[in-house]
Copies of this chain bind each other. A is one copy, B any other.
Amino acid sequence: MSKIKVAIVGASGYTGLELIKLLLLHPHFELSYVGTSEGGGRLGDLHASLLGVADMEVLKSDPKEIAKHCKLAFLALPHKTAMEFAKALLSLNVKVVDLSADYRLSLESYEKHYGAHLDKEHLKEAVYGLSEINREKIKKASLVANPGCYPTASILATIPFARFIKKNTPIFIDAKSGVSGRGKKVSESEHFVNINENFLSYNALKHRHEPEISEILNTQNISNGIFFAPHLLPITRGMLVSVFFQVEGKIDALQTLKDFYKNAPFVRVRDEAVSLKLTVGTNFCDIYATQKDDVVFVSSSIDNLLRGASSQALLNANLMFGFDEDAGIPKIAYVP
């Protein structure tokens, strides 16, 4: 069977690199087009680690050129830029998995947090690409909005408890991410000396992933207020999220997780506290829960660049093209 040709638009960043790495090994997709905003050079120039591994040309991203051969494009672009490409590609019958925030929120919420939306038409039909809740919709989608990293870990930790969470009480999410989550931008905040041996919160209760979490939980019958405080870990990759909430009635929190995810191929419920490092390099979300009185504490961990971005995007692409959900999806952690 010949492979399906796909494109990456925005190949210079970390999620772009992860997509390249995954697609070079994929059994059914063929990486056929690598685009950046400027184009130029070859893969080994763009990402020094790929020298001697793959030698494709890097092109200036052009929807028409993509549409000539590719049936799908992954957009690893800043928001706003993403929707321009999505609009153009969809009109040329190229399916899109968008890793930006552009199609994740309702119009109202999007415009409140990100400004004017320029592709309202497709926004309506976009499917939120979390297979654990939208598997069947993703299979039929032309446009998948790939979830944010924090929302992925936070939503997976919370939805198993939808029936139990006490109404009208807040859900607190204390999240911690490695630095690669900030992308490659170079500023004082990412200077090694300012991160190494340091730890801090940022945008507490004001982060743009908060409405994403809140809206998606709403679709899963969790309408509680979401209070989200992200922190920056002095590590390169990985994310660990703590969720605290009150429940009504008697539950066994850990068993609730196990029951909910018993058929989920990429959620591992652990009997002991999850360890971020065990998920780095994979598409797994590891989850653990414990409880005291009426309070439940859930801890979930993902690789922010894979399950929080690129491997989840690829899994969505698998579903969109009828491939096995786990085809080419990484399961083996980098550990040690």
Q: Which of A77-85, A115-123, A188-196 contacts B (4 or more CB under 8 A)?
A: A188-196
Residue contact B233 to A49, C-beta cutoff 8 Å: no
Residue contact A191 to B186, C-beta cutoff 8 Å: yes
Residue contact A53 to B199, C-beta cutoff 8 Å: no
- Residues of B near A113 (CB, < 8 A) are none
Number of interface residues of A (CB under 8 A): 79
CA distance A277 to B200 in the complex (A): 9
- Residues of B near A295 (CB, < 8 A) are 170, 172, 205, 225, 227
Q: Is A251 an interface residue (CB 8 A)?
A: no
Choose among B21, B196, B202 the residue that contacts A192 (Cβ–Cβ < 8 A).
Answer: B196
Choose among B21, B270, B336 the residue that contacts A193 (Cβ–Cβ < 8 A).
Answer: B336
Count the copies: 4
Q: Is A321 an interface residue (CB 8 A)?
A: no
A: which residues have CB within 8 A of B?
Answer: 14, 17, 21, 24-25, 47-53, 169-170, 172, 174, 176, 179-180, 184, 186-188, 190-202, 204-206, 225, 227, 229, 231, 233-238, 240, 242, 244, 246, 268, 270, 273-278, 280-281, 284, 288, 290-293, 295, 297, 299, 305, 331-336
Q: List 16 A-B contacts (CB under 8 A).
A: A48-B275, A49-B333, A51-B278, A170-B246, A172-B244, A179-B192, A184-B191, A192-B195, A193-B336, A196-B236, A197-B238, A199-B276, A201-B240, A205-B297, A229-B244, A334-B334
- Residues of B near A284 (CB, < 8 A) are 52
Residue contact A236 to B292, C-beta cutoff 8 Å: no
Residue contact B227 to A274, C-beta cutoff 8 Å: no
